[in-house]
């Protein structure tokens, strides 16, 4: 089959001072067996030698140099503008990939035109036989909006024994490796740049659900991700963005009745999380949660505008859009019932 007969795939990786990761990434991409793909590195004004290193050692990589650090959301959007593939993959710079990771994804897209986004199985670089914190085998959120993964619930990361090797419709695909159908960008829009970083991929997937698209994990496709490569898991900065953006996510995408019901129920749990951080002596993390709520309170016009945009593109009710939302409470099950694996969750079969 001629190369032109294979749908073109654009692999877009965002880089900011990530020189230490780039050799492993681009060496693994050179071994890819799919016959029709391009590689684009979007550099967010790195101060290290990233651009010079890639220009000298990987001339096949297209380079886009942003004049400033645009963070994750805008940086990737700039890359989307120059990607011309039928399918586009947003790929973290701190990964290495299986040589055949593209083929199963393209086959799934081609077989089901209702699939809007796909993620592979994401394993850890440090423990290559374990699923990875930020992606594992696909993402879900619970009834109150707390994210978790098929293979990672809060702090419990499962060893990969093939227990989640079945292709599975999911609620959200990880931004560490996020394949998207090009037409999605015209249908639901690009990454919301007001998220800056963290959970922007959940927002994009939620908007896809509202428009009637499906999201899937294809575990036959595999990559390995450096856990905490770009931001430490215990960082107060990460705590702030996770809480801030999770609340933003709910305010944008839930229907009016569901928002009025669920958002007030989040407050006691988030206050409890703040109290736990204080008891641990993690005062910066507790302060980050307060700042997240302060942002929500002080930006009502922005949130309302973004909510109107998201709801204007809605084509299905929450009953359809939230089919992959977990009907229970992950917080209650994990911390009180000690259900620490995806397969132990009380209602996990409802997601299958």
pLDDT of res. 70: 97
Bridge partner list, 122: 223
Residue-wise pLDDT for 262-301, tens only, equals 999 999 999 999 999 999 999 999 999 999 999 999 999 9
Handedness of CA 156, 161, 163, 168 (dihedral sign): positive
Location of structure tokens 């710079």: 93
Q: Is 202 left (phi over 0), alpha (psi -120 to 50) or beta?
A: alpha
User: Is residue 175 pLDDT above 80, yes or no?
Assistant: yes
Residue-wise pLDDT for 225-234, tens only, equals 998 655 555 6
Residues 207, 322 contacting (CB under 8 angstroms): no
Check residues 46 and 4 and name the one with the higher pLDDT. 46
pLDDT of res. 234: 67
Average pLDDT over residues 23-47: 98
Assigned CATH for 10-225: 3.90.550.10
pLDDT of res. 252: 97
Average pLDDT over residues 340-345: 97
Residue-wise pLDDT for 213-270, tens only, equals 999 999 999 999 998 655 555 689 999 999 999 999 999 999 999 999 999 999 999 9
Average pLDDT over residues 337-342: 97
pLDDT of res. 245: 97
């Amino acid at each position: 089959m001629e190369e032109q007969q294979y749908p073109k795939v654009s692999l877009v990786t965002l880089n900011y001072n990530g020189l230490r990761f780039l050799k492993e990434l681009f060496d693994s991409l050179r071994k890819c067996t799919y016959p029709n793909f391009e590689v684009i590195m979007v550099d967010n004004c790195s101060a290290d030698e990233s651009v010079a290193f890639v220009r000298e050692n990987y001339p096949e990589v297209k380079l886009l140099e942003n004049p400033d650090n645009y963070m994750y959301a805008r940086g990737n959007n700039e890359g989307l503008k120059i990607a011309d593939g039928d399918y586009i993959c947003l790929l973290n710079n701190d990964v290495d990939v299986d040589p055949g990771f593209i083929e199963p994804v393209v086959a799934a897209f081609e077989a089901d035109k209702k699939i809007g986004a796909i993620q592979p199985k994401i394993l850890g670089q440090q423990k290559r036989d374990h699923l990875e914190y930020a992606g594992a085998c696909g993402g879900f959120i619970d009834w109150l909006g707390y994210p978790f993964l098929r293979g990672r619930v809060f702090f419990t990361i499962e060893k990969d024994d093939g227990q989640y090797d079945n292709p599975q419709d999911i609620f959200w695909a990880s931004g560490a490796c996020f394949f998207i159908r090009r037409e999605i960008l015209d249908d639901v829009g690009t990454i919301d740049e007001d998220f800056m970083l963290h959970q922007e991929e959940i927002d994009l997937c939620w908007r896809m659900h509202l428009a009637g698209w499906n999201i899937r994990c294809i575990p036959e496709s595999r990559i390995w991700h450096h856990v905490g490569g770009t931001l430490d898991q215990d960082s107060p900065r990460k705590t702030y963005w996770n809480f801030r953006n999770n609340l933003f996510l709910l305010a944008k995408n839930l229907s009016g009745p569901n928002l009025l019901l669920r958002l007030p129920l989040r407050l006691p749990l988030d206050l409890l999380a703040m109290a736990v951080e204080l008891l641990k002596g993690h005062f910066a993390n507790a302060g980050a949660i307060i700042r997240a709520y302060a942002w929500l309170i002080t930006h009502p016009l922005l949130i309302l505008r973004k909510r109107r945009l998201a709801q204007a593109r809605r084509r299905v009710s929450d009953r359809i859009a939230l089919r992959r939302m977990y009907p229970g409470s992950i917080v209650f099950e994990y911390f009180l019932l000690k259900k620490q694996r995806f397969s132990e969750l009380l209602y996990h079969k409802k997601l299958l």
